[in-house]
Amino acid sequence: MIFEYFSEKKYDRLVKGFVNNETPYNFIEEIGIGAYGVAYLLEDAASDKKYVLKRLKTKHRHKKKIRQKFDREIKILKETGLHHVPAIISHGKIQDIPFYIMDYIEGKTFEQAIFAEGKRFPLERSLQITKELLSIIKEFHKKGIVHRDLRIPNILLKGNTLYIIDFGLASYINEEIKYDKIINPKRTENHISDLYFIGHFLLFLLYSNYTPTIKKEKSWQEELQLPSAVVDYIERLLLIRPAFSSAEEAFNQIPEI
């Protein structure tokens, strides 16, 4: 464990030296550590525009499957080509550790908005945001890509525009998956995964506007007191009721309040 920690910190210094000496960017700081990667904030020396460098953790350098996932993340990000996704600027290796540099989105994640800033999202606004999110996700699906990690830390709001980040778990859609064979909807390689996460995302938005009146915990259906059409809609996203056949169908059937 000590070796792994030292190895990562040593590699941080290598990244800093590489950025400052071999790229047009200045190294600013480390901004995130995940299960598989580390992210750093960079700044263009001429324009002051900010970027993110993400690299694989050194302890995974000899793990073939994880390296393949990292390579797939780069490939998928390059293929999305959508305004709502950070664009990849370049990619390569630093002493055999793969990395890529992408645009930095200076927005707030919904995790920050809800839990750090205490922002509230009423029902109408929550449904509007969910519809905007679905409009992005259905474009992903048209390109054969499923994100599989649409949690509140991975969805940003910049002004009135949504952005999706962290494609570490993204995959290509497997059209042969049968609904009745799905065991873990979060990890399934089709639209069900993204819609399932969107159901939970919508509940986070709605709970931001909820104040408990009693200590006894109830189901979200009881606590939130939503219109029946909204309850039915969320239950379809969460597979409590029959699933939507696509993100397109979920987009078209979102309740109007």
Active site residues: 149
Count of CB atoms within 10 A of residue 172's CB? 15
3-state secondary structure of 25: strand
Task: Please state whether beta strands 171-172 and 145-146 pair in parallel, antiparallel, or not at all (unpaired).
Answer: antiparallel
- CA distance to 152, 203, 251, per residue, from 197 (Å): 9, 10, 14
Binding-site residues: 54
User: CA–CA separation, 38 vs 28, rounded Å?
Assistant: 14
Task: Please state whether beta strands 50-56 and 171-172 pair in parallel, antiparallel, or not at all (unpaired).
Answer: unpaired
For residue 136 the two structure tokens come to 């992005």
Binding-site residues for ATP: 54
For residue 190 the two structure tokens come to 């089709």
Q: Specify the DSSP element, H or E, that contains 4.
A: helix 2-22
User: CA–CA separation, 8 vs 14, rounded Å?
Assistant: 10
User: CA–CA separation, 236 vs 216, rounded Å?
Assistant: 26
